[in-house]
Amino acid sequence: MQKINKNKTEESASLFPQSPLKHVYTVSEVTRLIKGMLEEKIGEIWLEGEISNFKAAGSGHFYFSLKDQGALILAAMFAYANRGLKFTPQDGMKVVCFGKVDVYGPRGQYQIIVEKIEPQGVGAQQLAFEQLKKKLYHEGIFDPSHKRPLPQTPFKVGIVTSSKGAAVRDILQILKKGAPGVDVVIRSVRVQGEQAAAEIAEAVSDLNGFSGLDLIIVSRGGGSTEDLWSFNEEVVARAIYNSALPIVSAVGHQINTTLSDLAADLFVETPSAAAKIIVDRKNELLSRISELRYELDLSINNVINESRNRLTAYQHALKSPRDSLLEKQQQIDELLSGINHNIRHIMEMAKQRAGGLIRNLEALSPLAVLSRGYSLSIRMPQGTVVSDASLVKPGDKIKTVLEKGVFISLVQEVCQESKKTS
């Protein structure tokens, strides 16, 4: 027994010879060595490949693999790095990543920690647009069956745009010339920049709560794709879709179709075109009034002609005796006189009704009110109309709009209207 143990000891000694230079590594040490060599030899790199096994964890981190025809590498993109990503990575998407090669110690796997990622062959912004467009399409946001017809005669219109832009000036100029009876409520917003989309969506919601509005125009002038990007944001498309009032989108030009255009009940190429729709509908109303007047005149003339024909027939049938004929002729004269009187009365009534409609249209114009010596006070910078002195306080800046011109003033004192005593 002792001999056998001795042999085993000698055999072990031959397999593991004793040496003062021998070092036995732990798994962690080897992993750290590999990690150090990878960081030293490779470090930060640009890497292209195809995404597979993509997973977005509840922590906000992305985990996926990058592969090509010959190999595969694990990848991780932490929440701090993907927070501002404009598109959502998907399996099968070819991308270019920037990051550093690292070793995940618990499993001894090498991987790339991604700091930046871009789709290969298409811009991130365009990819985000297409992804969101597809998502909203499947939700029915662009469904034609949801789109509502515009009112036949819009008398009060809300406009969501920048009060400093050319778009609002174009709209107001066209309405002033072609439809002065249309009242306008402007909800000024930023139309580009990080906060613009939220402001536009909020403005659409606010105007839905404004009393008496017939429709809303969401508008800005032309610009680059980046300039118009606020109108491609999901929050804006959903606000337009959820609007209780019909919405006309007038953003950019023909080459720029935004998600706002697709979600709106009607979209046109320019702000001027949106204003022209309102003018055309007002002209259609006036044209219809003219048609009704023509039809009324035609009906009256038909009645007159039929009456004359019957009277002529009576005259031929009652040529004798003479006294009977004279009596019938007298009755005919009286009948014609009454008919002519009624005709003039009917035409006058029709003329008065048509004139009343036209005067109503003109009376609705804000300029007509201002021309009688009234003014409009607007609290700045909020842009709210001051209808009650309790809404302002000393020091507030007030913009006053007159028939000709505008002036800015500061409130020095607020006086409540005293009750009249008998």
In the prediction, which pLDDT does 3 show? 45
Indicate whether 276 and 264 sit together in one domain.
yes
pLDDT greater than 80 at residue 246? yes
Could you give the 3-state DSSP secondary structure of residue 148? coil
Identify the helix (H) or strand (E) that includes residue 53.
Answer: strand 44-56
Q: Looking at the domain assignment, is residue 127 inside a domain?
A: no
Closest CA to 81 of 54, 119, 115, 47: 115
User: Greater confidence, 122 or 228?
Assistant: 228
In this structure, the answer to whether residues 177 and 94 fall within a common structural domain is no
Confidence at residue 9, expressed as pLDDT on a 0 to 100 scale? 46
Residues 156 and 248 in one domain: yes
Rounded-to-integer distance, Cα 186 and Cα 156, Å: 11
Q: What is the pLDDT of residues 150-166, one digit of tens each?
A: 888 888 999 999 888 88
Q: What CATH number is attached to the domain comprising 228?
A: 3.40.50.2300
pTM of the predicted structure, to 2 decimals: 0.47
Q: What are phi and psi of 224, to 5 degrees?
A: -75, 170
pLDDT at 355: 80
Residue 136 in domain: no
Give pLDDT tens digits for 96-108: 888 888 877 777 7
Indicate if the pLDDT at residue 321 is higher than 90.
Answer: no
Domain boundary among 64, 88, 121: 121
**Of residues 292, 294, 307, the one with CA closest to residue 339:** 307
Contact 261, 240 (CB under 8 A): no
> Containing domain of residue 43, as a range?
27-121
Q: Do 161 and 274 have their domain in common?
A: yes
> pLDDT, tens digit, for every residue of 186-195?
999 998 888 8
User: 307 and 264, same structural domain?
Assistant: no
Q: Is 18 inside any structural domain? A: no
The answer as to whether 75 is a domain residue is yes
Higher pLDDT, 399 or 126: 399
Specify which of 124-128, 263-267, 284-288 reaches the highest per-range mean pLDDT. Answer: 263-267
What does the pLDDT average to over 168-190? 87
Instruction: Say which residue, 202 or 307, is predicted with more confidence.
Output: 202
Checking if the pLDDT of 18 tops 60, the result is no
d(CA 181, CA 365): 4
Q: Per-residue DSSP letters for 81-138?
A: HHTT-SS---TT-EEEEEEEEEEETTTTEEEEEEEEEEETTS-HHHHHHHHHHHHHHH
Q: How confident is the model at residue 1 (pLDDT cuts 50, 70, 90)?
A: very low
Q: Is the pLDDT of residue 314 over 50?
A: yes
pLDDT value for 122: 58
Both 287 and 231 in one domain: the answer is: no
Among 280, 298, 319, where does a domain finish?
A: 280
Domain boundary among 229, 249, 280: 280
With a cut of 80, say whether residue 277 has pLDDT above it: yes
Whether residues 157 and 264 share a domain: the answer is yes
pLDDT of residue 94: 85
Residue 198 has pLDDT above 90, yes or no: yes
Percent of the chain past pLDDT 90, that is, above it, reads: 15
Confidence of residue 11 (pLDDT cuts 50, 70, 90): very low
SS3 188: strand
- Listed residue (417, 369, 411) closest to 393, CA to CA: 411
165 shares its domain with 252: yes
**Percentage of the residues of the chain whose pLDDT score is greater than 70:** 87
290-304 pLDDT, tens digit each = 888 888 888 898 889
Comparing 14-18, 89-93, 383-387, the range with the smallest average pLDDT is 14-18
Total domain count, the chain: 4
| pLDDT, averaged across the chain | 82
Q: Does residue 117 form part of some domain?
A: yes
Cα 3 from Cα 276, distance rounded (Å): 112
For 306-330, what is the mean pLDDT? Answer: 75
The pLDDT, as a whole number, for residue 127 is: 73
pLDDT at 422: 42
Task: Give residue-wise pLDDT tens across range 323-369.
Answer: 677 777 888 888 888 888 888 888 888 888 888 887 777 777 666 77
